[in-house]
Structure formats: C-alpha cells, structure tokens
Amino acid sequence: MPLSNTPPLKFIVVTGGVLSGLGKGIAAASIGHLFSSALKVVPMKLDGYLNVDPGTMNPIEHGEVFVLDDGGEVDMDFGHYERFLGVTCKSDWNLTMGKVFESVRDKERKGDYLGKTVQYIPHVVNAIKEKIRAIAHAEHADLMVIEVGGTVGDMESELYVEACRQLRNEAGPKNIAYVHLTYVPILHSVGEQKSKPTQQSVALLRQRGIQPDVVIGRCRKHLDEHLKERISMFCDLPKEGVITGLDVDNVYKIPLVFNEEGIINILNQKLGLNVQPNLARWEQLLHNAENPQREVVIAMCGKYTRLMDSYASVIEALNHAAAHLHAKPVIKWIETTDIENEQRPIEEALHDVQGIIVPGGFGARGAEGKIQVVRHARKNGIPFLGLCYGLQLAVIEFARNECHLAEANSTEINPHTSNPVIDLLPEQLHVTQKGATMRLGGQNIEVKKGTRAHALFGDSVRLRFRHRYEVNPVYIQTLEKHGLVFSGKAPGREIMQILELPHHPFFMATQAHPELTSTLDKPNAFFYEFLKTAMQPLTEKEKVTA
C-alpha cells in the first residue's frame, strides 16, 4: 500500500514530556484545526495501555469514555478532535497497545509471520505503522495528526515513538513534522520561568531518534524571549520553533494562541504547505463566550465529581450553548452520595441553582441521591436535563412518586425489586463480557409529533448511546397514564429514548449522550433549550405543585 498520495501525505506527530495531563489532545486538535479549512485532517491517538479500549475503565482513573458513531469506545481526546476538526472519528483511529498486541498475536497464530520469531522490533512496530498507513489510505487524508499518549520515557509508549521515528524515513523528511509539548514551571520563590524540565524532556526524545521541529511550552504566562532562546539553544531548533502553550480559561482559545505564536508558519515551511487558517467564525463565538450578558448556575449531580474530566463532554456542550446565548454557565458540583447519606440537605445543596443536570453513570452508589435531585427539580419547576442514567432515574422517581409504585427501581440497583421499571435490554441478558458489549454508538430516534422533542428535532434525530438498561416496556402504559410523555423511541422497537413532562418549564431526559455530538459551531438542541430555559426567571405559576 503506498504511503503517499499526490500531493504527498503529510504527518504531524505530537508527543509530550515532563508529566501527563498537559493537554496533548487539545494541542493536537488545535493544530489540526488550523489546517482543517484547507486540508482533510485525520487524527489518530496512540495509547500505551493494554486495555483494548477505555470502555471498562473507571472514569475517576481515566476520565470520560467518548463514544463514536460507529460504536467505538475511545479516549476522551477524540471529543476534542471531533469538536475542533468537524470530523466524525472512527474507532480504528484510536490505537491502543491492547489492540496492537491482539492483532500481532492473531497474525502469529495464523502463521502470517512464516515461522519467524515475533519481536517488538520489527513486528510490533511494523503493525503500528501499517495501521497508520491503512487509515490514511482509507480516509484519503491530506494530513495525519498523530498524538502519542503518555510522556516520552514511558515504557508503554516506546514502540509508538519508534514507529513515529521510522515514519520519517518512509514518508520523507519534508512530509513529517514533530511537535513536542512540555511543561514550563514558574517557581514562586523567584518568579522565574524554568527551562530545565523542557531541556531534559527533549533530550529524552532525541535519544529516541526524534528531533522536534516545534516545542510548545505549557505555561501560565507567555514564554519570555530569554527562555525561548535558551530552549532553542539547548534543544537545537530555531527560536521561532519555541512557542507558548498558554494556560487559558477556555480551550477554544488554543488555536488562536497557537496561530498568534506563529506555529502555522513553522509547520507550513516544514511541510511545504501554504495553508492560511480561517478563524473568523471561531473568533466570533469566543467573543460571545468572553462577553456574557449574564451567568447561569447549573448543578451537575453525579458521583464522579472528584474528576471533572468524567463529565468533560457535558461541560463542553454547556459551553457551546452558552456561547450562542451570550451566557456564562457556572457549574455547581453536587456529590449525590452526600445527599444519599444525609450528609447534606438537598435544599441546601440546590438552593441557588437555575438548572439541574443528572449525567450518565453506573451502579447503585449515589443513585438514591440522584433520585432525590430529580424529584426536587420536578416538584419545584427547576429546568432538568437527564442524560442516559439520568433518564432511567427520572423514570424511577416518577414511578415511585406519581404512579405509586413504591418499590420501583432498576435491576441494576436492586436485582430483586418488585417493580423493575428499568431492566436489562433483552440482548444483554446473556452477555458476560464487559468490554464493547453495551448498546453503543449512533442510533436513529423516532420523535413523536406534538412534543417538545419534535419542536427541537423534527421527525427524527440521530444521537449516540452507551447503555445496557432500558425503560421496561411492561411499565410504559402506566407511566404514560400518569402524565410522563415518551417523545422519542427506537424505530420499530419499544426502547424509549426521550422523555418529557409537558407542563414543566423544562423537564427532559434522553437515554442518549447528546453531549457527544455538540460542537461550538452547532450546540446540541437539548443543551441549548435547557440553558435558555434556565436563564429565564421562574415564576410561581410555572412551578409544579406537589
């Protein structure tokens, strides 16, 4: 398979050093954004962990699992890729070492290596390069932006770094650029930016055969000229190749920062391109976000609140809607286990909020606290948006308090409940493997006419899903009889996808994850209408009486 097209395929490889969590994914997405108006940019993420995908990982350990339209469970950086590049990513674009070793082992078992001793080099490294080539060819890419997970020096990333080093010879030195993201600390005792961590990180990268063309120094202030000169000298690259990765309060500023720092000029020169980014629309939406007309307090009620990355896409979707509404969302984190354990009265926790979100989750811990939150929103006319698990808990709350099914529950929470209003999907009954076995990916929703959902989406909408449990069809008639409206369902099946309460200012929930398809340019309608309603003053007439 040829490695290049006409014009030749280009590569930008993004590596990181010093410490993890610096924002390589946002850096890669921002660089790709600058080229995306002129080129077809395809992003890849190379993750070193042995899991096949992050689907079985705890959100507190790994952050949010991002679900793609094709059903792939991938690293949360793919959320940045889709939002910044305007692409629909595919699961193959997230290469994990678990996938790599699985493919190499399968080939060995089939005899594809013709009896040779299978080794890390060349066989595993070749498998990585073959995957990169195959994706570039299949997608007709002009530019591959490849993010290497972890930090240089991590044992689990070594084979990826070697594969990216070898790409230089195969693609040609004029068709590949290396960007290295590092950390530039400022010591409080002297107030001076320090270059030593960057020098050492680049030295590690060079030991592995890669000379960076650009070094991005992540810092809370712009890098001063003296520091740029020092990094330039010790890291053997032009001063223009040292740019600031400025700490910002809004990640959508990063492409603008990079552009102002001149990264596009450096990469254009290195790759023989002449791309001029189109940032006008981006700048206008950022201007709206930077100049809000008012704040709106939104309660995020979950059990993974120790790590905000667990709800990264929900936060992004709120920010997208806010930019179009000239508003600033102020998120109030509510740990529902505290409410459940009576460590915090619900009235105190929610007394100043204008809207409530119950996001996705799993398991029994914190569930009763979330159910109390849902009831509080429903009874007090507070705008409410339930996502995935949030829909299921809204059904449980309504069944208990409006349908008089006192023991109503999910079999996930209580397998022996006498009123299982939420139960396993039929196809999940005999599933034993946890990875990639849920109802995953993009699914079409048939929307009921005359509902709020229909006003938002029309006759149908496509959203992304990640769930094992559903509203039990046995209870649908009872729930609807008492006033709950199921306004969206799976075509041809009794899988309820959207619910709403007609006489509430805004009470909607979806089994889907609409946050995964929201972008700065086009916010998801659930979040837009929710935030718009939350911004409106609540009158006594609008409150739902007990």
Pull the structure tokens for residue 37.
């108006």
Would you please indicate which residues are annotated as catalytic (active-site) residues? 388, 513, 515
3-state secondary structure of 151: coil
Residue 417: phi and psi, rounded to 5, are -60, 145
3-state secondary structure of 321: helix
CA separation, residue 121 to residues 51, 104, 158 (Å) = 21, 12, 11
Q: Are strands 176-183 and 41-47 parallel, antiparallel or unpaired?
A: unpaired
Q: Residues 21, 22, 26, 32: is their CA dihedral positive or negative?
A: negative
In sequence order, the 6+-apart residues with CB closer than 8 A to the CB of 3 are 9, 133, 136, 170, 171
270/261 Cα distance (integer angstroms)? 16
User: What DSSP string describes 229-258?
Assistant: HHHHHHHTS-GGGEEEEE--SSGGGHHHHH
Q: Are strands 460-467 and 408-410 parallel, antiparallel or unpaired?
A: unpaired
Report residue 260 CA to chain centroid gap.
26
In sequence order, the 6+-apart residues with CB closer than 8 A to the CB of 191 are none
Q: Where are the beta strands (DSSP E) in 1-148?
A: 10-16, 41-47, 66-67, 73-74, 94-96, 143-148
